[in-house]
Amino acid sequence: MLALYISSLITFFVVIDPPGCAPIYAGLSAGASPAHRRAMAIRAVLVASAILFVFALFGEDLLHALGISLASFRIAGGIMLFLIALEMVFEKRTQRREDRAQKIIETHEVEDVSIFPMAMPMIAGPGSIASVMLLMSRNEGLERSAVILGALATILLLTLIALIAAGPIMRILGAKIEAVITRLLGVLLAALAVQFVIDGVKISLL
């Protein structure tokens, strides 16, 4: 179970990317009071948590209702994660997030960024939703499901801490260290994505 927890923890850490969300949130919440920034961070993580846990618990039933097989979802999810991994390795994902953040900043009418873009799509985006559904479908049983949900809760807690402490984290890490970490995690995510595709192909051929 420890191996499953660590594997799930790494997967969610790579996909949700708490250190990557921190600088984006710091830019989006610039000018807000500390209390307002803290409230938005808490609201963003709570909303994202609700979305991810709903898909974790009921995502498989939703797929069945839509007539989508788990094998097809694994292949599609694996391809999606692989594209995210490529963007992480070549730093395109960071640039896209920064561009999105800049557009929000330039739109003065937007004051509360907790729901959009922080909760969705930055925290509970397509990659994280696909990841939690794939992991839950690969590990049946109450105990193994609880381990995966525990890993998800841990990463969401880390994300909350990262958002609240976004300013100090950026001063400590710096842009260069963050870029190195992002690329390393991208390579790990690429390997995991390929494994998801292989699993899906194997199931579809049985």
> What pLDDT sits at residue 4?
92
Residue 205 lies in a domain: no
Residue 49 lies in a domain: yes
Mean pLDDT of 170-180: 69
Which among 148, 133, 149 has a CA at the least distance from the CA of 62? 133
Residue 206 lies in a domain: no
Q: 150 by DSSP, 3-state: which?
A: helix
> What pLDDT sits at residue 42?
96
Across 68-77, 97-106, 172-181, the highest mean pLDDT is recorded for: 68-77
Residue 185 lies in a domain: yes
Say how far apart CA 103 and CA 4 lie, in whole Å. 39
Q: Which domain holds residue 130?
A: 2-199
pLDDT at 66 over 70: yes
Q: How many domains does the chain have?
A: 1
Say how far apart CA 193 and CA 202 lie, in whole Å. 14
pLDDT at 145 over 70: yes
> What pLDDT sits at residue 110?
45
pLDDT range class, residue 152, cuts 50, 70, 90: very high
Residue 204 lies in a domain: no
Q: Give the lowest-confidence range in 145-149, 151-155, 160-164, 172-176.
A: 172-176
Phi-psi region of 136 (alpha: psi -120 to 50; beta: other; left: phi over 0): alpha
Say how far apart CA 123 and CA 45 lie, in whole Å. 8
Instruction: Specify the residue for token string 């557009």.
Output: 103
pLDDT at 163 over 50: yes
Look over the chain and give the mean of its residue pLDDT values, rounded to a whole number.
82
